[in-house]
Amino acid sequence: MPVKNRFAELQDEITVWRRDLHENPEILFETHRTSALVAEKLQAFGCDEVVTGIGRTGVVGVIKGKSDTSGKVIGLRADMDALPIHEATGLTYASKTDGAMHACGHDGHTAMLLGAAKYLAETRNFDGTVVLIFQPAEEGGGGGKEMCDDGMMERWGIQEVYGMHNWPGMPVGSFAIRTGAFFAATDQFDIDFEGRGGHAAKPQETVDTTVMASQAVVALQTIASRNADPVDQVVVSVTSFETSSKAFNVIPQRVHLKGTVRTMSREMRDLAEHRIKEICAGVAATFGGMATVEYHRGYPVMVNTEEQTEFAAAVARAVSGNCEDAPLVMGGEDFAFMLEERPGAYILVGNGDTAHVHHPEYNFNDEVIPAGCSWWAEIVERRMPAA
């Protein structure tokens, strides 16, 4: 069973939607036009229920199958937001908004889930209920978490959730997935070292924060090299270092460090946070200063559950003939919050040989549409087969 014929027919129409979204990118929770357009289309397709304002600007649509003897409810999720990047593709339908761009293909994700919704509302060839989830603010805003916090899972009785992301470098329409931890937990930290500033010619009267913070930057490298289980994954990057003064003859009072931590397990995440605090406090104490560490937990580890992943891979194989094992991804994914609440799976679909996501020359490949839409439709029809 390759792609569904209906999606070959719908491809041109879905491409028009996708390019319209591409031309009108909106960032974070500001997806007002996009959300309105999604809601309008879902209404027009004949969805049984369309609700806006879930997780601020998120949209939820409900399609009931021909029957509901299974009592199953499956959530399908797409993201709608763009990135604060100035587009450099030179496309005829390039972004009309300066400094905003669909550089991660969320235009394609939204268009494909709309395409699947149109088909599913037409055919309803399943036994159960589909909940279509369109989320804002995947790129750092935690829109998925806000939708969960609004009680979405309970309100619609969602039992399983599925998500999809296009992936440059994989053949168009091919699939890849992995069980267990898949995308990294992404945390940030701010560290302030407080010493005693003074004249640079009188070091004996100061507690030099630059030396202290440099010592800490070097010591933090040992979290990955000495504290972590070598089999586990962790990245600790100090990305910003700034002395409170920039003069050449003043030893500054404070140094501010910023950085990020990427981990693939709860244990490693806890260990990294704990060691960062311990190392900074210890180094500061060694030199007679003080360290204040603020550790901000961002997206959790995104974990695909085994049964749903096997099912999703089987569907992918049915659609495209194959499903590869995906590598671990050290980037973060907001869908992790939904997967923390319900079992489910997230899959990658090949975008061909394009620029990388988040690159100003990236573009979603419209040739992915038939395979992506078919996967969505088959997930529904196979997980909740019509009687």
Provide the 8-state DSSP code for 133: E
Residue with smaller CB distance to another protein, 7 or 193: 193
140 vs 352 by CB, closer to another protein = 140
188 binds another protein (CB under 8 A): yes
The residue from 5, 221, 222, 286 that contacts another protein (CB under 8 A) is 221
Q: Which stretch binds another protein (CB under 8 A): 29-37, 76-84, 172-180, 233-241?
A: 233-241
Q: How far apart are the first and last CA of the chain?
A: 20
Measure the CA–CA gap between 253 and 268, rounded to whole angstroms. 33
Q: List the structure tokens of 150.
A: 């609004």
SS (H, E, C) 363-378: CCCHHHHHHHHHHHHH
Token match 């194959």: residue? 322
What x/- string results for residues 304 through 333 when contact with another protein is judged by CB under 8 A? --------------------------xx--
203 is a contact residue toward another protein (CB under 8 A): yes
State yes or no: residue 292 binds another protein (CB under 8 A): no
Position 231 contacts another protein (CB under 8 A): no
Query: What's the rounded Cα separation, in Å, for the pair 351 and 364?
Result: 7
Contacts of 350 (CB under 8 A, 6+ apart): 166, 167, 169, 170, 171, 172, 173, 174, 175, 176, 368
Site for another protein contains 246 (CB under 8 A): yes
Is the CB of residue 67 less than 8 Å from the CB of residue 142? no
Distance (Å, whole) CA 369 – CA 357: 17
Does residue 248 touch another protein according to CB under 8 A?
yes
- Please, what is the minimum distance in Å from the beta carbon of residue 235 to another protein? 6
Task: Please say which residue, 140 or 343, places its beta carbon nearer to another protein.
Answer: 140
Give yes or no for residue 208 binding another protein (CB under 8 A).
Answer: yes
Residues 138-177 that bind another protein (CB under 8 A): none
Binding residues (CB under 8 A) for another protein: these are 184, 186, 188, 199-203, 208, 210-211, 213-215, 217-218, 221, 235, 237-243, 245-252, 255, 258-260, 262, 330-331
